[in-house]
Amino acid sequence: MAVFREAFETVLFMRAIALEGGALGTTAMAIGVTVSFALLIALSWLLLQSSARIPIRKIFNLSSMLMAILAVILTGKGFHALQETGVLSVTATWWHATWDLLGIYATWETVIPQLLILAVVFGLWIWGKLPLA
């Protein structure tokens, strides 16, 4: 269902470009589709040629670390957004450093959920290192 919805949205978007852009829009869209397919074929070929040499364990470790970092950042940003809308209160911490890019704000309402996410990530990492029974 999700794939169908995405395909339908793409067709609607491309149809709107064709109708509003006229001949120039249709030409640009055709070039874009052609280039996209060419890149897709080239990248698929490269992936198939190099997939035997890709270190899967390293890739999964890297992507796991990236997801953990994003979870912490997005948790901070999400709770901060709730504070900005007035849903959550704002209780300042003893430090006053705010780093918006990393989702770090000097309020307990953002820091505590981020610490909980870090604890869950660390706990799951430890659990994954335990020997199988």
Q: What is the pLDDT of residues 29-66, one digit of tens each?
A: 889 889 999 999 999 998 888 877 778 888 889 999 99
Is there a single domain that holds both residue 22 and residue 40? yes
Is there a single domain that holds both residue 44 and residue 62? no
Last residue of a domain, one of 52, 70, 93: 52
Structure confidence at residue 14 (pLDDT):
82
Count of structural domains, the chain: 2
Is there a single domain that holds both residue 34 and residue 64? no
Is there a single domain that holds both residue 26 and residue 37? yes
Is there a single domain that holds both residue 21 and residue 65? no
Is there a single domain that holds both residue 109 and residue 59? yes
For the whole model, what pTM was predicted?
Answer: 0.62
Structure confidence at residue 127 (pLDDT):
93
Structure tokens at 79: 């709770």
Is there a single domain that holds both residue 63 and residue 100? yes
The closest of 128, 121, 127 to 65, measured between CA atoms, is 121
The closest of 113, 109, 117, 114 to 93, measured between CA atoms, is 109
Which residue segment(s) compose the domain that 125 sits in?
55-129
Is there a single domain that holds both residue 61 and residue 47? no
Is there a single domain that holds both residue 48 and residue 93? no
Q: What is the mean pLDDT of each run of 10 residues along the chain (133 residues)?
A: 86 83 84 93 89 82 94 95 94 90 93 96 92 79
Structure confidence at residue 129 (pLDDT):
87
Is there a single domain that holds both residue 46 and residue 69? no
Last residue of a domain, one of 52, 70, 92: 52
> What is the residue whose two structure tokens read 């849903």?
87
The closest of 88, 108, 87, 105 to 96, measured between CA atoms, is 105
